[in-house]
Structure 1
Amino acid sequence: MLSDRLADLVHEYQRVERDLSNPDVLTDPARLLSLSRRHSELGRIVSLHDERERLSRARLENLELLTDPEMSELAASDLHTVEARLRDVEAELEVLLLPSDPHDASGAILELRAGAGGDEAALFAADLLRMYGRYAENANLKVTVLDAHESDLGGLKSLVAEVTGEYAFRAFKFERGVHRVQRVPATEAQGRIHTSTVTVAVLAEVEDAEVELDASEVRIDVFRSQGAGGQGVNTTDSAVRAAYRVGTPEEIIVVCQESRSQIKNREKALAILRARLAERARIAREASERAIRQAQVGTGERSEKIRTYNYPQDRVTDHRLAGDDKNFPLARVMAGELAPIVDALLRAERERMLVELASGEATGESSPRGR
């Protein structure tokens, strides 16, 4: 089974290489970018495939030499080394061949909303935004605020931002869920620890063709952009509100006022609307798949508490991890060092998918869908 999947990917890699040398592709930036990404993804797999083939041949040669009295000792030693490396290569290939999220390379829409805790929750939302900005900078990504509502103390009641750059969605997708903070607020005179929450949603930006929007179901309103404190930041009606299926249980409202251009704000508002619709479909699909498998896989929905930021104990605990692997130094995390958490979550996800894949193959079921 591994060999069959590898052969298919090697053939795909060869096709991608041929396409990249096609002059027509060089004049199509979107296709060139897509092919280049796929070439990079497949390159590591093909390299390991070639090494696997070489090691397999070396293993057979050493097995034959074991019958030669003069070469048996050397062959046995080399065989041990070859088989150990072969196991490592095949284990890495199993991980790389797991189903992947088709949107990993996409941009992301980041939404923060203050939850329980009032002003303290809003202040922590602002702290999270700074943390995400530093994390993005470290990962060569960019965070652009599209819409924000501040609290009286300078916190954030809600915020919508765009994250752009290579693999932005993969870098942020594990942030979706409820973030809980335990600390003494600056406004607390008696030094009592308060618990507050902030909800984070992370949506993958989708292509227009992926989600069809019926113009009759979307109402577009324009209004004058507003800054903090109600002061106008624009003298024209450039801000855009896109309302989907108004008055129904499926209603979605998106506001964008980042640009002074009404056209650009309209395009961005519709892009966010498509991303929210795609996320809604993803959650419904995963709920259906869980019911079929009768197993909880964790959807990252907003109702899930994913992480606690404990200031008195100077640690961050990610509740999706186990043992000592779930705790991280708070100061470093708030400084934007989220990569260790993301890497640990990626490893945990791959291990879970390997278990599901093995279980599915044992029962004759199809492979799990990548997230």
Structure 2
Amino acid sequence: MIDNNSILQKLDGLVSRFEEVSTLITDPSVIADQQRFVKLTREYKDLGDIMDARKRYIACLNSIAEAKDILANENDPEMREMAREELSVNEELQPKIEEEIKIALVPKDPEDAKNVEMEIRAGTGGDEACLFAGDLFAMYKKFCEAKGWNLSITSVSEGAVGGFKEIDFAVSGDGVYGILKYESGVHRVQRVPVTESNGRMQTSAATVAVLPEADKFEVNINEGEIKWDTFRSSGAGGQNVNKVESGVRLRYMWKNPNTGETEEILIECTETRDQPKNKERALARLRTFIYDKEHQKYIDDIASRRKTLVSTGDRSAKIRTYNFPQGRVTDHRIGYTTHDLQGFLGGDIQDMIDALTVAENAERMKEAEL
């Protein structure tokens, strides 16, 4: 059991900050500064959750103290029985609230609340890798639908026999990055491909990248320097799709602050038949791309400090194997295995994500000495 006083001291120290933030978010000058306002609003929500836990924790400790007092000083059998029940319930509740508080006190990743841009690319394995990339996309699509999140495809390059060489898509909803960030890395599949006539098992791979979507005020882009082209989209959509130049392509020269080199960024978007909407999506992807590059140093710093952290964002790390002959999925970062391969590919991935979240929280608590 943790020392109650040390937990209460940590919580009491946050009361004045909660009151300060409560006042600040109603200040017109703070509301006018969008970047600061968004940051403080997130802090207010996080602190509000901690204050709620503090209230429940104090009530729990008080109930334990009162029950013990009754048992020590009261002779009425009925009162003593009620006190024993009260004590039992609250002694069981106490460690649960303490664990909740410990997790809440761990510094949160400010990116966790954001929407994401995801990329799935076929790796080694030719046509079979493209088919596997298609399986992974279907898995995430079903998972997002179950969560009530919105998924929209931004660009796609199909494989010769099905699946995708590459597919980029955006996911928006509540706390998306904090949940999907664990999916970044190399996913391997071991199975007999439908493209294999001799029935031999093959190992193929696809790479998944999960990028937090950048807010407008986080990235400085000189929109006047963007070169825009329009073109006719191809694909499903009837006659209109080939007659209207709804597809957009942007070119932007950007100086990488990490290397000092200037590079050209090229982004295409054919997501909708509406050209202005496609321009908006292309700009959002440009912001996210630059944000990701500029924050790579930050990610590398975290990765070097926390060698075993499950969500470093390292896209070259082999994180998971999908073994069809044995019907299992194994996550190599935490040694977690499920034998429900079909259910997993059907979008039932929450248990795996929960296990990864617990592992990361345990490391963060260790680091924060909680």
Match of 1:368 in 2: none
For the pair 1:336 / 2:347, whether they are aligned, the reply is yes
Give the letter aligned to residue 48 of structure 1.
A
Secondary structure at the counterpart of residue 241 of structure 2: coil
Shift in Å at residue 258 of structure 1? 0.6
For the pair 1:203 / 2:208, whether they are aligned, the reply is no
Partners of 1:275 and 1:7 lie apart in 2 by 38
Secondary structure at the counterpart of residue 206 of structure 1: coil
Shift in Å at residue 67 of structure 1? 6.6
Partners of 1:273 and 1:70 lie apart in 2 by 73
Shift in Å at residue 90 of structure 1? 1.6
Match of 1:357 in 2: 368
Distance 1:222-1:49 versus aligned 2 partners, 3 A rule: same
Q: 1:262 aligns with which of 268, 275, 298?
A: 275
Partners of 1:264 and 1:321 lie apart in 2 by 41
Deviations 1:244-295 (A, max 9, x none): 437957543322111122221111111112112222233311322454x474
Match of 2:166 in 1: 158
For the pair 1:297 / 2:309, whether they are aligned, the reply is yes
Give the letter aligned to residue 54 of structure 1.
A
Partners of 2:107 and 2:53 lie apart in 1 by 18
Match of 2:55 in 1: 50
Shift in Å at residue 232 of structure 1? 8.7
Partners of 1:207 and 1:8 lie apart in 2 by 31
Partners of 1:123 and 1:162 lie apart in 2 by 21
Deviations 1:166-219 (A, max 9, x none): 222233221111111111111211100111111111111121101111346644
For the pair 1:85 / 2:93, whether they are aligned, the reply is yes
Shift in Å at residue 38 of structure 1? 6.9
* 8 A Cα contact 2:309 2:360, kept in partner: no
Match of 2:289 in 1: 276
Distance 1:235-1:10 versus aligned 2 partners, 3 A rule: farther
Match of 1:366 in 2: none
Q: Which range moves more in the overlay, 293-302 or 235-244? A: 293-302
Q: TM-score, normalised by structure 1?
A: 0.80
* 8 A Cα contact 2:241 2:273, kept in partner: no
Give the letter aligned to residue 109 of structure 2.
D
| Pairing of 1:1-371 with structure 2 (within 5 A) | 2-3=7-8, 5-7=10-12, 10=15, 41-42=46-47, 44-61=49-66, 68=73, 82-215=90-223, 218-227=226-235, 233-245=241-253, 250-291=263-304, 293=305, 295-297=307-309, 299-322=312-335, 325-358=336-369
* 8 A Cα contact 1:110 1:161, kept in partner: yes
Shift in Å at residue 84 of structure 1? 4.8
Gap regions ≥5 residues in structure 1: 23-29, 362-371
Shift in Å at residue 314 of structure 1? 0.6
* 8 A Cα contact 1:180 1:307, kept in partner: yes
Identity of aligned residues (%): 37
Root mean square deviation, CA, Å: 3.8
* 8 A Cα contact 1:143 1:161, kept in partner: yes
Distance 1:215-1:127 versus aligned 2 partners, 3 A rule: same
Distance 1:184-1:257 versus aligned 2 partners, 3 A rule: same
Gap regions ≥5 residues in structure 2: 1-5, 28-34, 256-260
* 8 A Cα contact 1:226 1:232, kept in partner: no
Secondary structure at the counterpart of residue 234 of structure 1: helix
Give the letter aligned to residue 243 of structure 2.
T
Give the letter aligned to residue 316 of structure 2.
S
Shift in Å at residue 41 of structure 1? 4.9
Match of 1:25 in 2: none
Shift in Å at residue 238 of structure 1? 2.1
Partners of 2:63 and 2:272 lie apart in 1 by 61
Give the letter aligned to residue 334 of structure 1.
L
Shift in Å at residue 104 of structure 1? 2.3
Partners of 1:78 and 1:238 lie apart in 2 by 67
Give the letter aligned to residue 354 of structure 1.
M
Partners of 2:47 and 2:254 lie apart in 1 by 44
